[in-house]
């Protein structure tokens, strides 16, 4: 649910709209899915003219679209979520559009020669080898990895080139009208300044206590605030490698054998104790170098020449890989106590010296014996847990209760009276579990009441099994149970209403030709002049988002009011700043607008083709497979 909420919160954003916009009409070649292979049923999800679009084609096109959408939203989007957001239908529409253009290209007799297809393949960077030229082995490997023959790829590429050429012929020469570009630039980049009086809800003071009738009314109209989630009570039987490892003894011979096999792990590389003086410019670095060459003290030079804090001089014992490459090369070639030449990095200019060198060393068997014993014991514990999990599964399948199986095979038992899907108990506190809470809760909320799950293993090697004892469905808590919260909610509502009324009264006091700042000051309130802000609420900085849209709809001198969760605001628009674009700004926006116009023309073209070539979407099959 949390993931879906995150997706829904961003679904209307410009990021997602832009992403949908760039999902091109061409097919996706790589990443062919196999979830529909070997299905005996009809998998045709749409037909265009006499051509069928099957589930394999749609799945192939969906995979890169889902990857791009997941990256844009910052959360993994699965097929079910993509369908809810309309992505499946969007991608299917793109496949239909591609087929429509193929039909039209065929009707017009457009043909792509073998030479053009060959040149497109040879010039494709995907198939270039180490020398920069076409590599047939790379070409063959990618075709094999995607279950595609060379003729299949050539045929697809031929269609793609024809489609692109046809669309290019329709949109060639498209240019953005300068008047539209200018108006759009002004709209996007216009900034405004306002005087703002904030009336925080917290300033409303004491609003008293609600009467029983008022409290009941508030409770009845805000029951979502008092809804308890679904709780599940369960019994957990678990065992982790940490439970078994202390009981496992590893023979000395096995430890020594492991030490011999893992020698590389116990070699400590050369380490050096490095000091540095960091200068802001090359001139300052040269001044540091000259002062050190005269024999001046390192710390005094750092302080006097570049104003460096003496505490920041020492980098401590470092390995070569701990330093930027340019600095590491110098630091690990310097003799003791000799300053380096000035070295440039993105951070500035560095002069370094080495005050101590620790040569590479190999830890002895005695030094790492404890670590080896712990590692091998844990590995042995994981192996034992695998065998135990099979025994527990067999015992439960044979009719043993969870308690009996846990007692027989040494699993720890934990009883949880009630927990929601976030791991919170009825008291609102996190429920402590002996193994991964995420894994346990996922299994608990996927198991029916009265049932015992199969044994499951966590990523860190622990095993567990759950028995769901009780399911308490979501419900609205009784008023007596949430009285304090209801009173606090009512009081917050009263404070919000009080400051909203004060805001309306203040706004009404500002007559035409009057300044909000002066009227507010006469009432003991303070108006703050905002910095220039744009239309995007998140770019307004100190301007509350609820005010931005209203101020961009107002004329200079107009007074507006708005409220949010923190209180109410009164604002007067005092200035409109019209932007003046540079030639570069105009060129960039013209390019964007022209691209949008070309996309609109392509869309209109494919829509017109639907009247020439019949399109049918097989919704039952689409819903069944996606």
pTM, rounded to two decimals: 0.54
CB distance 355 to 368 below 8 Å: no
- Where do runs of H (alpha helix) occur along 483-528? 483-509, 516-522
Domain limit, last residue, from 338, 359, 380? 359
pLDDT at 326: 80
Tell me: do 151 and 281 sit in the same domain: no
Tell me: do 403 and 338 sit in the same domain: no
Nearest residue to 545 via CA among 564, 526, 530: 564
Structural tokens at position 289: 């170098």
Domain limit, last residue, from 359, 393, 428? 359
pLDDT of residue 35 exceeding 50? no
pLDDT tens digits for 160-177?
A: 999 989 998 988 888 999
Tell me, yes or no, whether 148 lies in a domain: yes
Nearest residue to 81 via CA among 27, 11, 30, 34: 11
pLDDT at 41: 63
Q: Is 4 left (phi over 0), alpha (psi -120 to 50) or beta?
A: alpha
DSSP letter string, 80-112: HHHHHTTHHHHHHHHHHHHHHHHHHHHHTT---
pLDDT of residue 181 exceeding 60? yes
DSSP letter string, 590-618: HHHHHHHHHHHHHHHHHHHHTTTS-EEE-
| Band of residue 538 on the pLDDT scale cut at 50, 70, 90 | low
Tell me: do 195 and 122 sit in the same domain: no
pLDDT tens digits for 555-610?
A: 999 999 999 989 999 999 999 999 988 999 999 999 999 999 998 999 999 999 99
pLDDT of residue 540 exceeding 80? no
| Band of residue 257 on the pLDDT scale cut at 50, 70, 90 | very high
pLDDT of residue 516 exceeding 90? yes
Tell me, yes or no, whether 402 lies in a domain: yes
- Residue 12, domain extent: 2-173+611-625
Which CATH number fits the domain that encloses residue 316?
A: 3.10.50.40
Region 445-469 average pLDDT: 94
pLDDT at 498: 96
Structural tokens at position 470: 């009780």
pLDDT at 335: 94
Tell me, yes or no, whether 179 lies in a domain: no
Tell how strand 475-476 and strand 314-319 pair up: unpaired
Tell me, yes or no, whether 308 lies in a domain: yes
- Identity of the highest mean pLDDT range in 126-130, 290-294, 381-385, 467-471: 467-471
- In this structure, how many other beta carbons lie within 10 angstroms of the beta carbon of residue 532? 15
| Band of residue 229 on the pLDDT scale cut at 50, 70, 90 | very high
Compute the distance between CA of residue 141 and CA of residue 129 in angstroms, rounded to an integer. Answer: 12
Which CATH number fits the domain that encloses residue 519?
A: 3.10.50
Tell me: do 460 and 326 sit in the same domain: no
Tell me: do 410 and 457 sit in the same domain: yes
Tell me, yes or no, whether 601 lies in a domain: no
Domain limit, last residue, from 473, 508, 524? 473
Return the half-sphere exposure (C-beta side, CA atoms, 13 A cut-off) of residue 219.
19
Tell how strand 314-319 and strand 271-279 pair up: antiparallel
State how many domains the chain has: 4
Q: Write down the residue that tokens 């240019």 correspond to.
A: 175
Tell me: do 167 and 302 sit in the same domain: no
- Identity of the highest mean pLDDT range in 45-59, 85-99, 152-166, 488-502: 488-502
| Band of residue 2 on the pLDDT scale cut at 50, 70, 90 | very low
SS3 436: coil
130 to 119, 124, 134, 138, 140: CA distances (angstroms)? 19, 14, 9, 10, 16
Nearest residue to 145 via CA among 60, 32, 62: 32
Least confident range of 126-135, 182-191, 482-491: 126-135
pLDDT at 78: 75
Compute the distance between CA of residue 549 and CA of residue 529 in angstroms, rounded to an integer. Answer: 17
Average pLDDT over the chain, rounded to an integer? 87
| Band of residue 139 on the pLDDT scale cut at 50, 70, 90 | confident
pLDDT of residue 96 exceeding 90? yes
pLDDT of residue 39 exceeding 50? no
The pLDDT > 90 percentage for the chain reads 64
pLDDT of residue 37 exceeding 50? no
603 to 45, 120, 312, 427, 596: CA distances (angstroms)? 21, 26, 61, 56, 11
Tell me: do 498 and 520 sit in the same domain: yes
Tell me: do 146 and 62 sit in the same domain: yes
Tell me: do 63 and 157 sit in the same domain: yes
Tell me, yes or no, whether 239 lies in a domain: yes
Let me know how long the chain is.
626
Tell me: do 447 and 502 sit in the same domain: no
Long-range contact list for 379-387, CB < 8 A, 24+ apart?
A: 380/244, 380/245, 380/248, 380/250, 381/241, 381/242, 381/243, 381/244, 381/245, 381/248, 381/461, 382/241, 382/461, 384/244, 384/248, 385/239, 385/240, 385/241, 385/244, 385/457, 385/461, 385/462, 385/463, 386/457
Return the half-sphere exposure (C-beta side, CA atoms, 13 A cut-off) of residue 17.
5
Strand partners, 367: none
Least confident range of 38-42, 224-228, 420-424, 524-528: 38-42
Which CATH number fits the domain that encloses residue 112?
A: 1.10.4030.10
Tell me, yes or no, whether 543 lies in a domain: yes
How large is the greatest C-alpha to C-alpha distance in the chain, in angstroms?
95
DSSP letter string, 165-192: HHHHHHHTT----HHHHHHHHHHHH-EE
Tell me: do 36 and 146 sit in the same domain: yes
Tell me, yes or no, whether 500 lies in a domain: yes
Structural element, H or E, at residue 344: strand 343-345
Tell me: do 156 and 236 sit in the same domain: no
First-residue to last-residue Cα distance in the chain: 20
Least confident range of 61-70, 436-445, 500-509: 61-70
| 322 Cβ neighbours under 8 A, 6+ residues apart | 328
**Residue 22 vs residue 161, higher pLDDT:** 161
């Amino acid at each position: 649910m949390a993931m879906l909420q995150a997706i829904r919160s961003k679904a209307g954003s410009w990021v997602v709209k832009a992403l949908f916009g760039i999902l091109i009409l061409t097919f996706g070649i790589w990443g062919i899915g196999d979830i529909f292979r070997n299905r005996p049923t009809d998998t045709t999800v749409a037909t265009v003219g006499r051509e069928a679009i099957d589930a394999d084609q749609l799945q192939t096109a969906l995979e890169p679209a889902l990857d791009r959408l997941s990256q844009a939203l910052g959360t993994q989007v699965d097929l079910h979520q993509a369908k809810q957001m309309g992505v499946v239908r969007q991608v299917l529409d793109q496949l239909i559009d591609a087929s429509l253009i193929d039909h039209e290209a065929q009707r017009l007799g457009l043909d792509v020669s073998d030479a053009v297809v060959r040149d497109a393949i040879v010039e494709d960077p995907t198939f270039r080898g180490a020398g920069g030229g076409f590599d047939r082995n790379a070409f063959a490997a990618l075709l094999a990895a995607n279950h595609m023959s060379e003729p299949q790829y050539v045929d697809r590429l031929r269609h793609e080139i024809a489609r692109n050429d046809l669309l290019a012929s329709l949109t060639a020469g498209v240019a953005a009208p300068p008047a539209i570009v200018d108006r759009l630039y002004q709209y996007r980049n216009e900034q405004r300044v306002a005087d703002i009086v904030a009336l925080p809800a917290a300033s409303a003071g004491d609003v008293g206590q609600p009467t029983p009738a008022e409290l009941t009314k508030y409770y009845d109209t805000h029951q979502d605030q008092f809804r308890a989630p679904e709780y599940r009570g369960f019994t957990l039987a678990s065992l982790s490698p940490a439970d078994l490892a202390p009981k496992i003894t590893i023979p000395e011979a096995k430890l020594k054998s492991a030490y011999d096999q893992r020698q590389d792990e116990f070699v400590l590389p050369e380490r050096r104790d490095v000091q540095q003086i960091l200068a802001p410019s090359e001139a300052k670095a040269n001044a540091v170098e000259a002062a050190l060459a005269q024999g001046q003290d390192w710390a005094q030079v750092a302080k006097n020449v570049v104003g460096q804090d003496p505490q920041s001089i020492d980098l401590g014992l470092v390995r070569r890989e701990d330093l930027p490459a340019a600095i590491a090369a110098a630091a690990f070639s310097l003799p003791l106590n000799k300053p380096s030449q000035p070295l440039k990095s993105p951070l500035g200019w560095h002069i370094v010296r080495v005050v101590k060198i620790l040569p590479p060393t190999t830890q002895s068997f005695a030094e790492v014996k404890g670590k080896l014993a712990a590692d091998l014991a844990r590995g042995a514990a994981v192996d034992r847990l695998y065998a135990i999990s099979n025994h527990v599964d067999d015992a439960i399948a044979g009719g043993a209760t969870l308690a009996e199986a846990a007692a027989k095979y040494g699993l720890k038992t934990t009883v949880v009276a009630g927990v929601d899907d976030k791991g919170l108990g009825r008291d609102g506190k996190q429920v402590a579990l002996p193994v991964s809470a995420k894994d346990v809760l996922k299994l608990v909320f996927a198991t029916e009441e009265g049932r015992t799950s199969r044994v499951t293993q966590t990523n860190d090697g622990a095993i567990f099994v759950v028995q769901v004892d009780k399911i308490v469905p979501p419900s609205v808590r009784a008023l007596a149970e949430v009285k304090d919260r209801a009173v606090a909610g009512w009081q917050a509502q009263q404070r919000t209403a009080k400051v909203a009324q004060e805001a309306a009264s203040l706004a009404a006091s500002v007559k035409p030709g009057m300044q909000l700042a002066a009227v507010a000051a006469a009432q003991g309130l303070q108006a703050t002049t905002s910095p220039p802000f744009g239309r995007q609420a998140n770019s307004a900085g100190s301007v509350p988002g609820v005010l931005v849209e209203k101020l961009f709809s107002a004329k200079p001198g107009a007074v507006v009011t708005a409220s949010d969760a923190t209180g109410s605001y009164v604002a007067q628009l005092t200035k409109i700043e019209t932007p003046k674009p540079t030639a570069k700004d105009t060129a960039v926006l013209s390019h964007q607008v022209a691209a949008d116009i070309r996309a609109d023309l392509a869309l209109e073209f494919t829509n017109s083709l639907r009247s020439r070539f019949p399109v049918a979407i097989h919704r039952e099959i689409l819903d069944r497979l996606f």
